[in-house]
């Protein structure tokens, strides 16, 4: 039987990288006064990436594959904590456009700065060519796993 040494398995290494990224974000994403759940942060990122478009609750439900009740609760929390405002549309007051406040924009900019710090750390010690090759290999691993899970 093959010796079980988890540190030699790709899945173990990917899991270690993922946990390390999570630990970094857990340290950096919370201010001394406030911490929003990662799922709400992802919503803020999605809305920021789609500024200039009307984003509604149904768009968030579809993007994140979440139920209406779940998204309603998350949006209520974001609104209560000053990250979003929901503005009724002129032609149909039942539709409420979701807009980010300056507080949310500041938060997302800090998150994106942290992403760049992580990316720079992961690139350290690799040439551009080596890193691009690794990304290609990882894309193939992702494709293989998606095939396995179909």
Helix axes 38-49, 102-123, angle to 10 degrees: 100
pTM for the full model? 0.75
Overall size of the chain counted in residues: 150
* Percent of the chain whose pLDDT exceeds 90: 72
The answer on pLDDT for 46 being more than 60 is yes
> Do 43 and 78 meet the contact criterion of CB atoms below 8 Å apart?
yes
Residue-level pLDDT at 38: 83
Q: Where are the domains of the chain?
A: 26-148
Residue-level pLDDT at 68: 94
Residue-level pLDDT at 94: 86
Mean pLDDT, rounded, of the chain: 91
The answer on pLDDT for 1 being more than 70 is no
Q: What is the CATH number of domain 26-148?
A: 1.10.10.10
In this prediction, residue 129 has a pLDDT band, given cuts at 50, 70 and 90, of very high
The answer on pLDDT for 85 being more than 60 is yes
CA 5/CA 8 separation, integer angstroms = 6
């Amino acid at each position: 039987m093959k010796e079980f040494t988890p540190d030699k398995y790709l899945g173990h290494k990917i899991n270690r990288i993922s946990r390390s990224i999570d630990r970094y974000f857990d340290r950096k994403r919370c201010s001394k006064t406030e911490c929003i759940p990662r799922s709400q942060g992802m919503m803020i990122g999605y809305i920021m990436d789609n500024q200039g478009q009307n984003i509604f609750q149904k768009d968030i439900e579809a993007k994140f594959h979440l139920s209406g009740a779940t998204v309603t609760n998350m949006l209520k929390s974001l609104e209560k904590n000053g990250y979003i405002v929901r503005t009724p549309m002129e032609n149909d007051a039942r539709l409420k456009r979701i807009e980010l406040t300056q507080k949310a924009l500041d938060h997302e900019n800090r998150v994106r700065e942290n992403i760049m710090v992580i990316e720079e750390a992961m690139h350290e010690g690799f040439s551009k060519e080596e890193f691009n090759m690794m990304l290609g290999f990882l894309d193939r691993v992702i494709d293989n796993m998606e095939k396995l899970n179909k």
